[in-house]
Chains A and B, each alone.
Chain A
Amino acid sequence: MSVTQQRRKIGPVELEVIMGTVRSAELEIEAAVERTSRSPMIRDQHDYRVALFDAKGRKLTGRSYSALVEPVFEYFGADDIHEGDVFFWNDPYNSCGGIGHIPDLCTTVPIIHQGRLIGFSQVFGHHDDVGGAVPGSMPVKATDMWTEGLVVPPIKLYERGKLNSAAYRIIARNSRLSEHLKGDIDAEIGAARLGSRRIVEMAERYGIEALEAAFDTIIRNCTETIRRELLPKIKDGVYSWEDYIECDGVEAPKLHAMRLTMTKTPDKIVLDFTGTDPEAAGPINWPIDYADGKFARKWMAPVLRSLASSPERAAEIDMNEGVLDIIEVKFPEKGTLVTPHFGKPTGLRFFILLRSLGIFAACLAKATGGRMPADHETIRIWGLHGGRTGKDFFLFREVLGGGGPGRPWADGSDVVHIVPNSRNLPAEFSETRYPVLVEKLALAIDSGGAGYRRGGFGYDKRIRVLQGGKLLSNADRAMLNTYGVNGGKSGSTYGISVEHKDGRVDAIAGMADNIVVEDGAVVRIMTTGGGGWGDPLEREAERVRYDVECGLVSEQAAREVYGVVLNRLGNEIKVDGPATMARRAKMRHARGPLPMFDRGTYFQEIKAAQGVAWPKGWRDPDEGWQAVARAKNEAAAE
């Protein structure tokens, strides 16, 4: 009998069937949300998350992050949870840190079997409109939470199966798309109930005791997987890093720093956000200092999967409540970006959500000899609206991906989006539906940060506007580059510009609203490239040559960044081996040691101008960190 088995109170068969059923139920809930909800943000962009929990509120499912069940206990208590109840909230300051911005409405149903609470099923989705200052409920200029839409603290939308119709009507009335909103809420409740039936069936088949023992094992498996497969790859010690949001939408652009100190011991990782900059006036705050930081711990833990033995293995590793035994967090005093005071706006908190993953990954890079993916910026929205309300009004809005990070095992993937299965709009669809002509849909040349494994490419998209309108852009990383790791170079920034008919070109800011675009003008959008990984001079010359042949890397970059000398013979491009070797040797000699991180030129300029200020007790987290040579790095991975 294996050690694992001795501790189990459940047979291997029951366990495997229950694990398979929980996983299948998660997929079923997702399918039900997509099938029956109405907001395009949920149905097509897949911006929703589902989860199953045990009776203690511990998360069992692992495909994706989720909100928390803690608000049910905190606001109602164990005695006030009944069959037929539906708990509901979206309040960023009353959801134990589980809901980050107001468009995310969260639905939770208790799972009851033979009168006993055996778990919870939960769905939250990003709804198209929950009121507030602007359509879409994500005002760039918001200076408080109330501007951003209707705020619902934890309530029972259903009490023992009976709808609280007053609450339902108030919520629906506060949306510009109340029919959509009602449909979405009903869909989420239906989907959550569907998931709960699956858990009840397992209780009926194997009994509550076996079910609970299986839940314990599911959670322990996660902890054990991390302990055995991932933690040993991280060197014990204390590591710090920081990254920035360049603009809060309200004040003039400046660096808003998120700071992290990671302390790694054999069995644990402590993440301390002390040193993070003060809360912002605009909507980039993220209130997570609740419920022992459970949300942030579960949100950030999946970063560890990049340390798995292969990307296929990484995709298999479920991240559930078991991560709490590994990761602890510490927060600074109230009043920072991650501990904002009640009422601070949070609508565009997705910038800081992504930064948190990036700084954790960078701390891990320091602790693993650089063996972590570089940076990628994955969410931005641009759009064009025009016409007359009620007549020919149109809103053409796209969520566009960016280049993925270079990693030790592969180049970054091109134009990817962090939300799984989210899709871009086909040109043929866009042209049929909106007054536009997509003139170019391409990968942006040289956008991926150079490296032994380069970053993925971002978009280079040109859209001719056939009927004038107004442009919007919700994007970060328009000034700061995505960072490169272990000698890899930073990736290119986001850029949006309007090329007027008379030839003038206007560059537009990343955070912009209501920019007038006339008939016949062209909007050009370049999305971020991923950061590069490893020394570009180590990249196989043949790979560089192939990227040049494909037109993805310029000959200039091949020569100047990668040190590869190419000869053109008619249509053929060939590597000049000896010249390349000589050139690379010369470049290596001239440049000196490579830094561990490259944040790009905009940052370097600010830093050179003494524009980066560190709080007391902090020093430049890049200083003294050099790239680890590839041979050494690979040996470390063994």
Chain B
Amino acid sequence: MGLRVAIDTGGTFTDVVAIDEASGDQWAIKTPSTPGDPSQGLLNGIRKVCQAAGREAGQVAAVLHGTTTATNAVLEHKFEGLGLLVTEGFRHIIEIARQSVPDGYGNSYFWVKPPRLVPLHLVREVPERLDFQGRVLAPLDEEATLGAIDELVAKGVRCIGVCLLHSYANDDHEKRVGALIATRHPGVFVSLSSIVLPEYREYERAMTTLLDVMVKPYCKTYLGRAEAEIRRTSGDTRFLIMQSNGGVVTARTAGEKPVTMLLSGPAAGVLGASFMADHAGLRNILTIDVGGTSTDVSLVENLKPQLTSAALIEHYPVKTPMLDIATVGTGGGSLAWIDPYGNLKVGPRSAGADPGPICYGKGGKEPTVTDAALVLGRLPAALVGGEIALDKTNALKAYQKLGENFAMSAEEAAAGVLEIAAANQVNGIRQVTVMKGRDPALYSLVSFGGAGGLFACEVADFLGIQSVMSPPNPGNLSAFGLHVSDVKRDYIRTMVRQESAAKWREVDAAWRELEVRGTKEIAAEGVPEADIQLNRSADMRYVGEGHEVPVPVSEGVTGEAAVAELWREFHRVHQGTFGFAYEGSQDVELVNLRVQAVGRVHRPLARKINGKAGKATPASTRPVYWRGIGWQDCAIYRRETLPLDATLDGPAIVEEYGSTVVVPAGWRLTVDPYGNLMLKRKP
């Protein structure tokens, strides 16, 4: 039994949590990220945490890694040398996109079409054509194809996306194009749409393929470098990468299809929150991960994070199974500012990590949410751990100045800024709940991230939520979440069939084919076959609808029964999602078949907290300001000294390393056996 090391690489800092497989002992450290070559920060993290745990590199049994660096790289437009090959007649596919203009009515007058991932002169046509059943209408013209490839390479293209019409139904032509590129130009990176996203709708498939090939050199290079070094120091250790779907795969697999890790940044936190919520006896939760510049919000039902199949990175659609996470532009570093019309605003502009809030004393000049919390006495004079002494004087000055614009005191202004920040988060939560037909009041709020505890109860008040949970070590729950992930891979195949014309044998056979691939590939990731679980589902709709709903098949059901379950369950799912169904009156259409293959891996034990139940004793008191109430002397507790089953009533503050939990009046906090702080609104 060895040490499992989880590394969560953010834009600025890398969080590392190591867990001893046998004892469950945990160690956490932080180290600066190295966006230029993320492998450096990753390897530093392993070294540092081994030191902290007093272990040798050779004792590392597994390395788990989640990252936002790939997304950041896309956002920073770090890529060049991208080319695209498409079917003849479709060269303008990404110029045309879906003809939509975002946001308001009539914006088409002034809206400017954003630059495409591949400029038109680097898009080439390939003479070939398939029909929707994959039959060849025109064979691939290899000579013309080679000509197109050579032209692109001559123009400096180093990464080629290939998206041919109906390749989801027959990948022969794309494979052949891939082989031609590999033979002629072995150094060129290639992604085939039939591998990246074998699903119909050519524009979205092309874009997802382009994003995949775009980040491939970057991801493959740094993952390869890290893996080589890990092997050198720790031997044949498993190196697993978090994907957007909340599962992990080996670094090698991730490098082959990096688009699956593109939106994985916030996924591990959701898994960690769900794991701790399970121990606390909660099943339906809303997670909010409050970071420096933004907050990630997601919905977990029956301990299952909700999935979605599409998102936008900037203007570009990416289709890959992913946890459904909404991001709101408000976090601890969000700036409070006044617009030209005299309105008080909070975010989305942020002080970021550099210079950071005024109170960090690193040159920040504009007031942030964190500064507001300090001014109000919600944060200690120095962040616990003592590493950062907070500059209250200058934070206060900034809020005095801000308040003068509105004839408000510094405290009133600061408390108002927190109220606005909470309201902004509330609107984000509504995106993943109300907009999907869910009532947030029926969920518990699990709040984490550095600033997660600052106004979770205020957010809950807005939404009518009755209970809030703060898991242990909320500052590195994302890194912890990496430890509780399974190996997961998703398989999809488009098969459009109407219920009246579908044959169950054909559907079942296609599913089985995906399952065989899944079993093989998960086993290749090092999971014993007995630990592999296969989940069938399908995307379906009523004939004539423009979008599909995902319909799951019960575990273990196969053959005719599985197909029959689809036709039956679809109406129920449709009813649940959209509020109506046409059972018996409208034909149903199957669109995509899906299989998710899951390989169960090691789970750490959640640790119970030591000691006996007892009373909570405050470490100190200090004045804290509350909106509409004013200054009150409040009890300040240290989280690590709170005994099991301790109960305390707000107003109070609980401080710990890297985080602060605020308990407003009207809320009661108890400590559960796993160290979760459970806050409930008092009746």
Residues of A at the B interface (CB closer than 8 Å) are 1-5, 11-13, 15-17, 19-21, 23-24, 27-28, 31-32, 35-36, 38, 40, 43-44, 49, 62-65, 179, 183, 186-187, 190, 194, 205, 221, 224-225, 302-303, 305-306, 308, 311, 314-315, 357, 361, 373, 376, 378, 400-401, 404-405, 407, 409-410, 413-424, 426-429, 431-433, 437-443, 456, 459, 462, 546, 549-552, 571
Contacts and interface: CB of A to CB of B under 8 A. Distances in A.
B315 to A, nearest CB: 12
Contacts of A409: 110, 112
Interface of B: 89-93, 95-96, 98-113, 120-121, 131-132, 137, 151, 165-166, 168, 200-203, 341-346, 404-408, 416-417, 419-420, 423-424, 427, 430-431, 434-437, 462, 496, 544-547, 577-580, 582, 585
A2 B342 contact: yes
Given A2-B405, A13-B419, A194-B434, A417 B579 contact: no
Given A35-B578, A183-B580, A439-B89, A315 B585 contact: no
A11 B103 contact: no
Nearest to B405: A2
Contact of A424 (B98, B108, B406): B98
B106 A302 contact: yes
A443 B345 CA distance: 42
A428 B132 contact: yes
Given A27-B435, A441-B89, A443-B92, A414 B113 contact: yes
A443 B103 contact: no
A1 B406 contact: yes
Given A35-B577, A404-B108, A416 B120 contact: no
A305 B109 CA distance: 9
Contacts of B578: 35-36
Given A16-B420, A24-B430, A416-B113, 10 more contacts: A12-B344, A16-B343, A31-B434, A303-B109, A305-B106, A404-B113, A413-B108, A423-B98, A428-B200, A441-B93
A277 B437 CA distance: 48
A441 B90 contact: yes
A373 B110 CA distance: 7
A478 to B, nearest CB: 19
By CB atoms of chain B within 10 A, which of A13, A40, A357, A440 has the most?
A13
A27 B585 CA distance: 32
Contacts of B201: 426, 428-429
Contacts of B345: 16
A432 B577 CA distance: 25
Given A179-B585, A417-B99, A428-B201, A302 B105 contact: yes
Given A38-B580, A190-B579, A423-B98, A378 B544 contact: no
Contact of A429 (B106, B168, B200, B430): B200
A305 B579 contact: no
Contacts of B435: 27-28, 31-32, 35
Nearest to A17: B423
A77 B178 CA distance: 70
B96 A426 contact: no
A179 B434 CA distance: 25
A431 B110 contact: no
B335 to A, nearest CB: 14
13 contacts: A16-B343, A20-B420, A27-B431, A31-B436, A38-B580, A64-B104, A306-B110, A401-B99, A404-B109, A416-B101, A417-B99, A441-B96, A549-B121
A24 B427 contact: yes
Nearest to A65: B105
Contacts of A417: 99-101, 108
Nearest to A400: B99
A45 B580 CA distance: 20
Contacts of B544: 40
Given A431-B132, A442-B92, A549-B121, A426 B202 contact: yes
A413 B111 contact: yes
Given A440-B89, A546-B121, A415 B342 contact: no
B423 A20 contact: yes
Contacts of B202: 426-428
Nearest to A44: B546
A305 B343 contact: no
Contacts, number: 239
Nearest to B89: A440
Interface of chain B, main secondary structure:
loop
A432 B132 CA distance: 6
A40 B542 CA distance: 12
Contacts of A65: 105-106
Contacts of A11: 406, 408, 416
Given A194-B434, A431-B131, A49 B92 contact: no
A17 B99 contact: no
By CB atoms of chain B within 10 A, which of A378, A423, A428, A441 has the most?
A428
Contacts of A302: 104-106
A416 B132 contact: no
Given A315-B107, A546-B121, A35 B100 contact: no
A410 B109 CA distance: 11
Contacts of A44: 546-547
Contacts of B103: 63, 315, 420
A190 to B, nearest CB: 7
Contacts of B113: 404, 413-414, 416, 456
Nearest to B155: A571
Nearest to A424: B99
Nearest to A313: B110
A315 B92 contact: no
Nearest to A415: B99
A442 B434 contact: no
A442 B89 CA distance: 7
Contacts of B582: 179
A441 B203 CA distance: 11
B344 A16 contact: yes
A404 B434 CA distance: 35
B398 to A, nearest CB: 16
Contacts of A225: 341
Nearest to A361: B109
A35 B427 contact: no
A315 B110 contact: yes
Contacts of B341: 4, 221, 224-225
B90 A308 contact: no
A98 to B, nearest CB: 15
A13 B427 contact: no
A530 to B, nearest CB: 9
B390 to A, nearest CB: 24
B462 to A, nearest CB: 8
A423 B99 contact: yes
Nearest to A418: B108
Contacts of B405: 1-2, 5
Contact of B110 (A4, A28, A35, A305): A305
Nearest to A63: B104
Given A12-B406, A17-B423, A417-B100, A432 B496 contact: yes
B191 to A, nearest CB: 18
Contacts of B420: 13, 16-17, 20
B201 to A, nearest CB: 5
Contact of B579 (A21, A36, A418, A426): A36
A207 B203 CA distance: 49
Nearest to A35: B578
Which are the 8 A-B pairs with shortest beta-carbon distances?
A13-B416, A4-B342, A64-B105, A44-B546, A12-B344, A31-B435, A413-B113, A24-B427
Contacts of A361: 109
Nearest to A378: B108
Contacts of B427: 20-21, 23-24
A420 B104 contact: yes
B434 A28 contact: yes
Given A5-B342, A12-B343, A414 B579 contact: no
A36 to B, nearest CB: 5
Given A20-B423, A571-B151, A420 B580 contact: no
